Chains A and B, each alone.
Chain A
Amino acid sequence: MLSAARNILKPSVARTFAAGKAYKHTLPPLPYAYDALEPYIATEIMTLHHTKHHQTYVNGLNAAEEAYASADSTAKKISLQSHINHSLFWKNLAPAKEGGGKLVSGGALEKALVKDFGSVEEFKKTMNAKTAAIQGSGWGWLGYDPVAKKLEVVTTPNQDPLLSHVPIIGIDIWEHAFYLQAR
């Protein structure tokens, strides 16, 4: 179930085992311009969120891993978790004019959403309600439970990655993800 996370960070991990010395995680570039998600997510938010918040987690992760022997294992864990979550996040967003927000009609995901939630609208309602109800910082997820073989909405607190399900869609509900725009 960590395979989504593993894939996101694959190049770095491979380099580590090969080189046997310190390697560096890097901030993945956004798959679109900083203003590409307007008017839904503001340029100002995307710039800060990507170049400051995610970059800080990447830097923190690299620093903690370099000093691994005496590292604060909690700091390293949090940085890694946040790096995983944000890397998934950028990829699961897309500009509206490049298909963002549009679910392929008749595709496997649509069928699964209808099967497990009744309708796509019902899924969105459930996702939003559960994500908004997080008490503190965290993430809302559409996840696939490979044992029960169904899609479910789950949440994780702070920067905890989704481990119990395969992440399909993640939504950052930390205040930094929306406060400048939605107040």
Chain B
Amino acid sequence: MAHTLPPLPYAYNALEPYISEEIMVLHHTKHHQTYVNALNAAEASYAKASTPKERIALQAALKFNGGGHINHSLFWKNLAPSAAVNKGNGGVLRDGAFKQAIEEAFGSLDNLKKEFNATTAAIQGSGWGWLGFNPSTKRLELATTPNQDPLLHLVPIIGVDIWEHAFYLQYKNVKPDYLNAIWNVINFEEAEARFNEAVGGSKL
């Protein structure tokens, strides 16, 4: 069955002023759409492949476009209109097990932001910064993935796209400004839901 571009959970201008409407339109309708189209094409070719060599030759396209589709689908959902400008709950982390887990792993939410931004900004090339849940240690930890590689060794809780197309039109070369701004539109409710599911626990 063909993959389709998931609709944004909010209007294209809803993340202003932190992520511009222009970026959201291009990022969703062009970049993510392209990954969806290319993934469908790669999967169609893969279904017709009959030798290991043919299948191996398609693996890079599957990984790149499949990863692009996975990552961006997670991304739109872990963003939300900002509470700071009275548009929604973006940027607000409420008390509970998730907040506690952040404090246990990083000391404070502020420190999570600092460390997350530092590791994400340090990615050389294109990639993604992640807050993930380690199912073995049952702790939150940071990770990065290059290009469109999906996060595999941790359960994704929050992902931030650091490909230049994600911020360049608005922030130009000043990555730190983008990384500071995006925390205003991080959907901590969605992150908390992912965390609760990963822990496998109840929400009581």
Contacts and interface: CB of A to CB of B under 8 A. Distances in A.
Contacts of B172: 48, 52, 180
A17 interface: no
A48 B173 contact: yes
A81 B111 CA distance: 32
Nearest to B173: A52
B70 to A, nearest CB: 15
A179 B125 contact: no
A145 B165 CA distance: 34
A12 interface: no
A56 interface: yes
B64 A179 contact: no
Given A175-B164, A179-B164, A159 B125 contact: yes
Interface residues of A, number: 19
Given A48-B173, A157-B125, A158-B124, A136 B148 contact: yes
Interface residues of B, number: 17
A174 interface: yes
A27 B148 CA distance: 32
A135 B124 contact: no
A179 B165 contact: yes
A180 B148 contact: no
B163 A175 contact: yes
B146 interface: yes
Contacts of A52: 172-173
4 A-B pairs closest in CB distance: A175-B164, A136-B147, A158-B125, A137-B125
Given A175-B168, A176-B173, A180-B169, 13 more contacts: A48-B172, A48-B173, A53-B173, A135-B64, A136-B146, A136-B147, A136-B163, A138-B125, A158-B124, A174-B164, A179-B165, A179-B169, A183-B169
Interface of B: 26, 60, 64, 124-127, 146-148, 163-165, 168-169, 172-173
